[in-house]
Amino acid sequence: MGLHGDDPTSAAIDPLLFQVCSSLLAATLPALGLTTACASEVTPCGRAAYTWLDRQSSTLWIGAGAALGIAGYLLDVHKWTGVLQIVALLDYLAVGTCLFLGVLFMAGTAPSTPLILGMLISVGGAVAARKLALRSASTVTFMFGTGLVFGFYAVMLTVGWVLWAVTPMLGGYNDWKSHRGKDNSPLSPLVHFVLWCSPLILAVACLLVSLFSMLRGQIHAPNKGEESEEVFIAMELRLVLGCLLLTVLGAWVAAALAAEDMGLSLTVLRLSAAMGAFIAVYVSYVLGLDRLRRAAKTISAVQLILDLVHSDVMKGLFLLLAWPFLPVYFAFEILHQAVRSCLHCIGLHHDSSHGQPAWITEEAWHHWEELHSWNKASVLTMSMWCGIAYMTIQVGISQFVTVFLSWLSDKITPWPLPLILLVLFAIGEVMFLLPPVPGLPIYLISGIVIVQRCQSDGWNFAMGTLLAIVFSFFLKLAAILLQQKAIGEPFSRSIRVKKLVAIHTPAMKAVKHILSRPGLHQAKVAVLLGGPDWPTSVLTGILRLDASQMLLGSCPIVFLIAPVVLAGAFTLKAAQEDSETGNMYTGIAKVMTMLSSVVLLSMMIIAGYYIEATQQQFKAEIEQGDWQKDPQEDEVRQAIEEDANQSKVYEQLTRWQLVPAWLRVLLYLGSLFMSAVMYLVLFAVPFQSFSIADHVSDLPGGSVLSLVHGSGWTALGFMFAGVAVLVAFEAWRKAQARTLTDSEEAEPLISREDPRVAASMLERA
């Protein structure tokens, strides 16, 4: 896939477009069709395939693949040449086959893995078609054709699944619980759930591929002037960063959906992880690190991105994930070097050491030196902060908010309708003011409680549901106004806040331009609806935008609110009917839940597109520096420079040589604790599955503490230990700053920067 859109002919009228679409259909349809047939309940093959997969041993195949891979790595088969290269290729094939089957056989515990593998094979088919049959097509034509093909898949899968799910004669209204009860199936409820909605999950994945392809094609579309390779790379990186942001927001959506169904939440998380892996491969394969380094020399945006990648925050995140593997890696590299020494003795390996110790490989020694050069105090503390942020999202939102709203539902259901509306409105506004809390659980509880109260008062189901939708809509509009006026505008003169939201960046200027345009247009709606609830509304206040225009642009949010309210209402309806009719209503509720997540993710992607398009449209004006310039932008830039100076002083204050031995040990332990927390939440079962439709009174002992399993208490204990380490480190840092201010050691710090700036930094520290 080339980096340049050098075809002067528009993709829309390119004569190769039909050939591109035909080739892509032939290359991708078999894998996607087989995945749909064998990984869903639309056909009889679905449950049979998953039952067979569940009986297979994934551990055996993954172990065999790992053993072959380790053996090949120890023997350095990637360096073999001549006849031995055939043996190396066979080893690669065997490893790939074993790992593929091992992951596939995990379907019983992770039922979304066959869907992810099917999508990866489909995307791989598109790449193979590009390499083998579509070399003559321009990048624009190929990406446009890919977007059309996968968009077609998304539409057909969605329409077909909705018809199947809501049509009794097609059998789709029988949900996973009823199947489990009829078949005495050994499969878990989560597997049945994914089987039931897998076509829609595949549709969402196809939609993401389609939008990514269209956006990339737009980047490489011919424009007025010739663009250099570095400019194309910069635009590609903006697209990649948008996808990374979408991955993070996918985890946020998963936390919101956990209130309705844990199975859907886990599936969204796995899809987000797969998207993150795809981005990593895309950056390495399509862009390449060498191109990025070259572009960084001439384009500040690329340098900014590379600085972000090499920042202590990213290093801390890496450490958080890598702690269990680092000791294993370095121990393995010692063994690797021993094998190399043996091969060297018999003439099968040439010694290429360049000064590293003889007991470890050159590659591992370079990695060790890089780790050793890090600012350890900063990286270790950042790893703990990343762990805390993860726990806040995955536990604080998906568990605490769900339990609280379930308890609230039980308490206020017997109350009069006006009082219920008043209490829900007050609590909803308070929750909307909390930054990490999404709006979906609030809409869901409104659909349950309000409809139930209306039915008790003699209203019919339709009128009760309509009232719940209208109530949730005005609740959201009031929250938008409150977040903008009560939080955003009071901080609209704050340099620190404007620096935090990066008011001076081209992306924020593009957002300001989009939102400043009067009326109801697509770009404004996409930005207002696609961003997270709290940050988006607060940002409109910081930018001092017209509140009435923001409310007008947010009105289409009713199309996001209505499916969630309907999901809650139909969940209630299912519990009130007999089993057969109840199953149909449960199926409709799941359709509505999936529909809301699709709308939300689509708005996020479309918002990213319009922001990028606006930056490109006003590129010249942005470079001049006056376009959409904030009145305090110069002060913001000056504050950023002061922060850079402060960070240097802070680095000197907390350099590893100054940290006492006892605190070094605590920092390592705190980072290890947070890593353990993350893996416990990811792979253990620390918390009991609990949805907003469940009742706290049904829990063992009627206590919410029964939701926390043993591994959950362990994770919470580790997290609080990490927090204690951060508190201890912060106390030491402040004491160190006070000591250095009055000692001779302050002089080397001050001499590194402007003395007045450094002294000011020390005082604030």
Tokens matching residue 390: 């993860």
Least confident of 24-38, 343-357, 487-501, 652-666: 343-357
Closest CA relative to residue 413, chosen from 466, 455, 383: 455
Read off the pLDDT of residues 121-163 as tens digits, 9 standing for 90 and up: 898 898 888 888 888 888 788 888 898 999 999 889 888 887 7
Asked if 479 and 550 count as a contact pair (C-beta separation under 8 A), the reply is no
Q: Does 52 score more than 80 pLDDT?
A: yes
Average per-residue pLDDT for the chain = 77
Least confident of 315-324, 329-338, 360-369, 697-706: 697-706
Task: Give the pLDDT of residue 543.
Answer: 87
Q: Does 461 score more than 80 pLDDT?
A: yes
DSSP assignments along 620-673, one per residue = HHHHHT-TT--TTHHHHHHHHHHHHHHHHHHHHHT-TTTS-HHHHHHHHHHHHH
- Across 2-6, 56-60, 308-312, which has the greatest mean pLDDT? 56-60
Task: Give the pLDDT of residue 497.
Answer: 86
Q: Does 666 score more than 90 pLDDT?
A: yes
The whole-number average pLDDT for the span 472-499 is: 89
Domains of the chain: which residue ranges?
Answer: 11-227, 326-373, 413-631, 648-764
Least confident of 37-46, 242-251, 313-322, 439-448: 242-251
**More confident call, 609 vs 70:** 70
The whole-number average pLDDT for the span 597-620 is: 75
The whole-number average pLDDT for the span 15-28 is: 85
pLDDT-above-70 percentage for the chain: 74
Read off the pLDDT of residues 169-184 as tens digits, 9 standing for 90 and up: 555 544 444 444 444 5
Q: Does 747 score more than 50 pLDDT?
A: no
Task: Give the pLDDT of residue 28.
Answer: 92
Task: Give the pLDDT of residue 273.
Answer: 62
Task: Give the pLDDT of residue 5.
Answer: 42
Confidence of residue 367 (pLDDT cuts 50, 70, 90): confident
Task: Give the pLDDT of residue 9.
Answer: 41
Confidence of residue 501 (pLDDT cuts 50, 70, 90): confident
Q: Does 254 score more than 60 pLDDT?
A: no
- Helix, strand or coil, per DSSP, at residue 471: helix
Read off the pLDDT of residues 320-345 as tens digits, 9 standing for 90 and up: 989 999 999 999 888 888 888 887 77
Sign of the dihedral through C-alpha 199, 201, 202, 203: positive
Task: Give the pLDDT of residue 362.
Answer: 84
From CA 258, how far away is CA 401, in angstroms rounded? 10
Task: Give the pLDDT of residue 291.
Answer: 65
Task: Give the pLDDT of residue 740.
Answer: 61
| Buried-exposed string 80-102: b where 16+ CB fall within 10 A, e elsewhere | beeeeeeebeebeeebeebbbbb
Task: Give the pLDDT of residue 762.
Answer: 46
Please tell me whether the overall predicted TM-score, pTM, comes out greater than 0.75 for this model: no
Task: Give the pLDDT of residue 710.
Answer: 85
The whole-number average pLDDT for the span 499-509 is: 83
Task: Give the pLDDT of residue 323.
Answer: 92
From CA 270, how far away is CA 650, in angstroms rounded? 38
Asked if 593 and 267 count as a contact pair (C-beta separation under 8 A), the reply is no
Asked if 27 and 126 count as a contact pair (C-beta separation under 8 A), the reply is yes
From CA 531, how far away is CA 554, in angstroms rounded? 11
Tokens matching residue 1: 């896939």
